[in-house]
Amino acid sequence: MRVVQKLLILGLVSAALLSTAAVAALPIADGQGRKLPSLAPMLEKTMPAVVNIATRSRMRTQDNPLLRDPFFRFFFRTPERRQQQATQSLGSGVIINAEKGYVLTNNHVIDKAAEITVTLKDGRQLNAKLVGTDPDSDVAVVQIPANDLVAIQVTDSDQVRVGDFVVAIGNPFGLNQTATSGIVSALGRSGLGIEGYENFIQTDASINPGNSGGALVNLQGELIGINTAILAPGGGNVGIGFAIPSNMVMKLTRQLVEYGEVRRGLLGIRAQDLTPDLGQAFGLSADVRGAVVVQVVADSAAEKAGLRSGDVIIAINGKRVRNSSDLRNAIGLLRIGERLQLTVLSNGHERQLVAVVAAPVVRTVRGEELDVRLGGAILADANTLDQRQVAVDGVVIVEVERGSQAARAGLRPGDIVTSVNRQAVKNVAMVREAFKSRQKAILLNVRRGDLALFLMLR
């Protein structure tokens, strides 16, 4: 019975592959003249565009803890000696431009690298230089000498469907040129906390450490995504892998090549998912999906466009918005100064609005201008620095000088002060007012990532 089931399954898989034989690969014949499907011709064409990336980073470390004491060094007349400790990282990359030698990879593959070495399929090893990187989306571009390179063909990832056959190509565990196959398991995965901007293609094609930055291709060998993460407690493959869609990657790549960074602007709103309960409260039908505007920042692009609290954004530039993640991703791909058409529902009526994505205006103040206990810190209104299209109340700590009063108080860069002496603060002006009391002890409520804590300034 098991043999029959296995033969039935093999027959179904073969039929599915043969139905796409003209697309996937030319069939080959076995010793008995029977034709079998194969991905070999596609892989032979595609694999030269996928490379191995090795990086080295250097950390300055002292030879011995005793050498940290200047009196010890003076007494024994021992000069301060430091050694360079090299660390190595392995990943993958994809050649997207053969003429200019541009290679696409993940930011975490080349992050803090002092040296980047790219190994091609033919065995050539080339030194690469960093062109640009975007940590929020985990995308980076490096450049190698353009000489007899093969670039991958990129296709429209919006046309990918759940159930499509895909192949992941990369260098898992440092093993060169490995291909694994599977299907698209899901689309538009977000809220995983892996990256700042998440719109992943989920696949069950085996993705393991070292595959990061490699290619996820369709059966024609066209790039549909960049492999970036796996979901597994032990770090190995369990059939849940994620890739950044090619459309998202290529839009970011254009800015990385031009500017060396992604210059995101702000719409200036706080938004949340339109839940069934909220939809019912707004008098909307159950099938409506979108993002509800909770707050509009004063003098922002959103306010100038006419957005109001309670509006439901259902589309941007004609593309449907299913939730707040869709909204954030869509705006995060637009350049500063770019116009976008918003389709919104206001009191049940559809409106078309036009907004121009604005550059964030950062207004900073030095901590000592507010109070000596904040000396060494630089503060700014949180919503002027947010890069994820979410208006945040509070004051962000932009910088903290090492050894300063602010540092000794426990403040760190990225902290968001939400209250002073249990009074909510929305901006620097409110913090300035709170410190005018000149109390001996000041209690700060600080948000640090997903954590919240109190700090006492004396």
Hey, which residues are catalytic here? Answer: 108, 138, 212
Answer for the pair 156, 166: CB distance below 8 angstroms, yes or no: no
Answer for the pair 446, 415: CB distance below 8 angstroms, yes or no: yes
Q: Where are the beta strands (DSSP E) in 82-177?
A: 82-97, 102-105, 115-119, 125-134, 139-143, 153-154, 165-170
